[in-house]
Amino acid sequence: MARITASVYTSHVPAIGAALDLGKTQEPYWQPVFAGYDFGKQWMKEQKPDVVFLVYNDHATAFSLDIIPTFAIGTAASFQPADEGWGPRPVPVVQGHPALASHIAQSVIQQDFDLTIVNRMDVDHGLTVPLSLMCGAQDPVQGAWPCPVIPFAVNVVQYPVPSGRRCFQLGQAIRRAIESFDEDLNVQIWGTGGMSHQLQGPRAGLINREFDNAFLDKLINDPEAAAAIPHIDYVRDAGSEGIELVMWLIARGAMSDVAGGPGARPPRVAHRFYHVPASNTAVGHLILENN
């Protein structure tokens, strides 16, 4: 059977992608940001996942304001890096896993979560920056990402957005779906976006280290409490774009300790990193392994 071995959490700041693509990773501003991902890149090589289930948000790139799915699963065989206005990032095409994605869609919809099935979509910095951070620079033509990726897009751009509680419950349904797939696969689930940031309005530039670190503590040790945070608290405390953090609860909900049962143990914290600033955003990154 397929099994979820670990969850990864990371911010997705587009300027990080630009710094990587333009060879600026060793510049004094960027060096401490990328240093926080040295562990993860090595860890990825050792873990050799067969599939990454990548929870992210589209920034009005694949989905315009005409149609906004709350939860959308990418079932295609491949996904092109999106043109966000400066041309697509020079990164490899993202290969999907249609068989597992279709199975997850079937199972999760039957568990009463309404997913939108997306058979064609381009993927923006929300998805490609986390991949670059965890896998390092890849040649766009000769290179390839280390494994297939199932993109799972969450609406955190246009209100109303889903609650943290619903995201946490959805993660539990995704775990049941993945673990009922009849093939031996090492699957990771990633939750991306965040941490505190606000890009517009009078509070633009807001960062809240205290909230972010308390959120990391809660996510690790008391995910139920993290899931109970109402969306207005994210907006007040972590800025209007801090709401991206609800996506981390999908990944956390998919960890085995949440399911309980005999032998359920809290996950092992393999890596924790926090840095301010990167562009307008506080960068947070966690790796949790199922015990």
Q: Tell me the per-residue interface mask from 230 to 269 with ligand DHB, x by CB under 6 A, - otherwise.
A: -----------x----------------------------
Active-site residue, from 12, 59, 103, 125: 125
Query: Using the rule CB under 6 A, is 153 a contact of ligand DHB?
Result: no
Q: What span, in angstroms and rounded, lies between the C-alpha atoms of 16 and 132?
A: 9
Kindly tell me which of 13 and 255 has the beta carbon lying closer to ligand DHB.
13
Q: Which two tokens stand for residue 262?
A: 């005999």
Could you tell me where the beta strands, DSSP code E, fall in the chain? 3-10, 51-56, 71-74, 78-79, 94-95, 116-118, 149-154, 186-192, 268-278, 281-289
d(C-alpha 144, C-alpha 209), whole Å:
35
197 is catalytic: yes
Over the Cα atoms of the chain, what is R_g? 17
Q: How far apart are CA 13 and CA 260, in angstroms?
A: 34
Q: Are 129 and 279 in contact (CB under 8 A)?
A: no
Q: Which stretch binds ligand DHB (CB under 6 A): 7-15, 27-35, 221-229, 266-274?
A: 7-15
Distance CA 122, CA 182 (A): 29
- Segment contacting ligand DHB by CB under 6 A, of 10-18, 28-36, 111-119, 184-192: 10-18
Cis peptide before 160 (omega within 30 of 0): yes
Q: Is 231 a catalytic residue?
A: no
Give least dist CB 262 to ligand DHB, A.
40
Name the residue nearer to ligand DHB (CB basis): 197 or 252. Answer: 197
| Binding track, positions 174-213, relative to ligand DHB; x by CB under 6 A | -----------------------x-x--------------
8 A C-beta contact, residue 148 and residue 97: yes
Residue 280 lies near ligand DHB (rule: CB under 6 A): yes
Angle formed at CA 165 by CA 162 and CA 168, multiple of 5 degrees: 100
Q: If binding is defined by CB under 6 A, does position 13 make contact with ligand DHB?
A: yes
Which amino acid belongs to residue 71?
F
* List of E strands, 231-280: 268-278
The residue annotated as part of the active site, out of 12, 59, 197, 285, is: 197
By beta-carbon proximity to ligand DHB, the closer residue of 197 and 285 is: 197
**In the complex with ligand DHB, which residue's Cβ is closer, 70 or 280?**
280
Which positions from 49 to 88 touch ligand DHB by CB under 6 A, shown as an x/- string? ----------x-----------------------------
Residue of the chain from 15, 76, 94, 177 that contacts ligand DHB (CB under 6 A):
15
Residue 140: CB minimum distance to ligand DHB, A: 21
By annotation, the residues acting in catalysis are 125, 197
